[in-house]
Structure 1
Amino acid sequence: MPINELLLISSILLFLSIFAWKISSRLGIPALLLFLGLGMLAGSEGPGGIYFDNAALAQAIGVIALALILFGAGLETDWSAVRPALGGALSLSTIGVLLTAIIVALFANLVLHIPLIEGLLLGAIISATDAAAVFSVLGARNLQLKGQLLPLLELESGTNDPMAVFLTVGMIRLLTEPHATIFSVILLFIEQMGIGAILGLIIGGCSIWLLRRLDLDVEGLYRVFTIALALFAYGLTAIFDGSGFLAVYIVGLLLGNSSIQKVDRLSRFHNSLSWLMQITMFLILGLLVFPSHLPPVIVRGLFITAVIVFIARPVSVLLALLPIKLTLPEKLFVSWVGLRGAVPIVLATFPLLAGLPTAPSLFNLVFFVVLASVLLQGTTAPLAARWLKVTASSPEEQNTS
């Protein structure tokens, strides 16, 4: 495609995405659903007619976008506000993700007769939640949540991606490497999380030290610096076989909670950048899917969605939050807003690039499950909040744990 046409089409899609967000905020529909829909309409089987079938490019764009989004999320996270919810969030992002993957795998094996390892791969891919997607719905309806619910969901959405990535990579290793064992996968987990956390702390600390001494005449260069910092943190950590997503989030969290005066302005910039990355990622993923390939997976997709929404997610949340002091309605609400987003679709490109025979069908299945999850849970989140009585009627009630 000539560069002039590419720029024109890209700008039109961005404009349409902004209008779509406005529509979604009024109707209470998660914006990502409309972004994906725009990508599908612009694709080869839609009116746009843009042929795109490059899983490697889609994955690369998705990884870069997720790294910048997680950095921005860490930058905006108020540590003093979310610290009380840390235990519950870490439990959800590790134990909860693992339990979700296992439960989905068992049901897929028993009912759909999918081999257990392939079922675990499916469960791993769709185990990550995108709680941030529902915040726009809650904000559009002007709903405030009680106590630590919002910090809990915020931290979970920022910390559960590394676990889902690890499980996905681990299951692919078991499927593609004959000599791989469960023990080697456990070592992979320790290695990825350990290296990700250590390098995240080191890079974050060094970046704070450097920014305090760096005197740039042009303010815009500080923004360039933080973009480079996020990409550097991810790239360096990934080279050392660590979790780049975990490292990026930690770097953003440390920088955002430092005493550097420029942080507020940087946070506003990265909020805008995160929106651009989200829109770009959803549009690309929408382009990647062929709508005609979805009907064969509808029955299985509805079954998997039902298992996640009504069994796997509630069970994993209730068990993961067992020692956490939350009421049953609050835990049920956490369960209900655990909708899927872009991360599972990006992870579904991993088996495609690994050359697994069932990868194309798996990608279409994951895409359908994301659509169904967002449509069901995302649109009903405000109703669930009111029905479960977890909304705050005053700022004091909102801050009461």
Structure 2
Amino acid sequence: MTDISTTPSSSIGSAGSALMKKRNRHQTVLQGLGLAAISFAALMLFILISSLVSTGYKAFYQTHIQLEVFIDPEQISADNLQRGNFDDVLLDSLKAYFPDVEGRADLRKLESILSNGAQFTLRDRVQADPSLIGETVTVNVPTSDDYDQLAKGMVDRDSPADQRKLSDRQIGWFDTLEKAGAVTQPINWALLTNADSRFPELAGLKGALVGSFWALLVCFLISFPLGIGSAIYLEEFAPKNKWSDIIEVNINNLAAVPSIVFGLLALAVFLGWFGMPRSAPLVGGMTLALMTMPTIIIATRAALKAVPPSIREAALGVGASKHQVVFGHVLPLAMPGVLTGTIIGLAQALGETAPLLLIGMNAFITSAPDTPLDSATALPTQIFIWADSPERGFVSRTSAAILVLLTFLVTMNAVAIYLRSKFERKW
């Protein structure tokens, strides 16, 4: 009889138990590393958002001075409002709080409490209602940036006078106005309704918002139909050969090309060869369309592939043509994925800066564009401009502009997620 040696069951059990403990230990370590990575990412995101909010929230309210202004007919004529001495009228109202201030130099310093745009605020009101001439009206006008920073606690009152822009006397003037109840801090709607300005207290995002709108509109009108059409042809109609393989490889490569390369291409072709207008949203939108099309093509092809072959076979089985199958059955079912890819592509285009800088959309523009051919900036380039400005007031406005841009990006991505979850079908 052959003697067959056997391993005791206790040895097998102990070895299996040790192996199971080792596997569980590795799984626990892996889970711990994953949680640590997620926690670290969440911490970095929290630090980023917190720093932006702590710096940028002050730009969402603005310091104003409330004045009782007499519209003197001798200084302001209804026949020629453009030449009216609105700054002198405002200064007379401000002097009512400081009757002891005399001399041209002191009056000039006193007038510096008000923003350079205060006179235009009063002018616009009188233009809208000329009957105010000869009357006393209450107006709220913005302060200059130095006094706005003082009101928001950005000026160290205890520092030596030669290390701050405002003297002790000027700070005393502002304190007098505060005690008199003339200082207010309303919501700064001008941040969204004003265009750019060299004065921080007057600078706004209207020009950048309108410029981004025109650029994204041009980008959508070009990239959406061309991207979807290309994806449908490559996925449903194109023969599978080496030429279609080369096209697919190039599309995938274009999706990974740095955005600055597209900016150089636009600079050389659109501006250099075609002579298109510099700083125009039309050129910016065409440049962004070149960047967005590969993303839309890839997302659309993935959505078309996700439609089960049985849908195509059933439609062909009842006599539908290839064209009817694609546009009557496949494309409607793939549309949630197509829209999701399009929105994500547009959101990426909204945040691009480098290609827009190369085509000149970082110029100093003081009015919002009326057409895509007018000179304009965009939200990312406006942030770049403000971040490069030496005035202290632009620091908070830069962070506020970043928060506005992030709001648009988060909103667009949330819409993409909503569309996918609402219309996506499970097969």
With normalisation by structure 2, the TM-score equals 0.24
Query: Greater helix percent: which structure?
Result: 1
Query: Which structure is higher in RCO with an 8 Å CA cutoff and minimum separation 6?
Result: 1
Structure of greater Rg: 2
